[in-house]
Amino acid sequence: MISKIIFSLSTLSGVGLFLMLTQTSPNKVGPLGILILFTMVYLVFLGVISFFLYGSYRVFSIAVVYFRKGQPVVQKEVKTPGFFLKYSAALAFAPISLIAKQSTGGVGIFEILLLTIIEIIAIIYISKR
For residue 125, give every residue at least 6 positions away whose Cβ sits within 8 Å of its Cβ, in sequence order, or none: none
pTM here is 0.84
Tell me the per-residue pLDDT of 56-80, one tens digit each, with 9 for 90 and over.
998 988 888 788 777 766 667 778 8
Hey, what amino acid is at 82?
G
Is residue 92 within 8 Å of residue 42, measured between CB atoms?
Answer: yes
Locate the domains of the chain by residue range.
2-128
Give pLDDT, residue 74: 67
The Cα–Cα gap between 52 and 48 comes to 6
